[in-house]
Amino acid sequence: MLAVGTQAPDFSVYDHNGNKIGLKDFRGRKIALWFYPKADTPGCTMEGQGFRDAFDRFDEKDVVILGVSLDTPAENRAFAEKFSFPFPLLCDVQREISSAYHAVKGREDKYAARITYVIDEEGKVLEAMEKVDVKTHARDLCARL
């Protein structure tokens, strides 16, 4: 995990809608960057639904939600549409973000670890969560921010 207080690595990847998204696009806002192993699997769905259900509360606190997986744009698009996710799912097929944020150990990893970072308005790591409960993670995180 990246250390709290360190500069969050910049990135630039496509989301499930084909939009190029970079960390710098959100300067001045907090970011909840949640990594999930595989689109449309039970745990990832439960976690994503938690972020979806708390989306308005995160938005009121000016917190951007970005999901990240190694899934393709088509897989993430289907996942987002099936469960009406109102936030971008970043398609880290080249493992750029997952490597920089220690969500994968190497290129051979098939899935990202289930971890979350909170990045502050200046782009520094505010929180690094290595263990999360998919049932309560989004609600607990939102309550703390």
142 is catalytic: no
Strands 12-14 and 20-22 turn out to be antiparallel
Query: 33, 44, 128, 138: which one is catalytic?
Result: 44
Cβ contact 117:129 at 8 Å: yes
Helices 42-53 and 137-144 meet at what angle, rounded to 10?
40
What is the amino acid identity at position 4? V
What are the structure tokens assigned to 42, written together? 């039970």
Question: CB under 8 Å to 59, separation ≥6 — which residues?
Answer: none
Partners of 31 in beta bridges: 64, 119
Catalytic positions are: 44
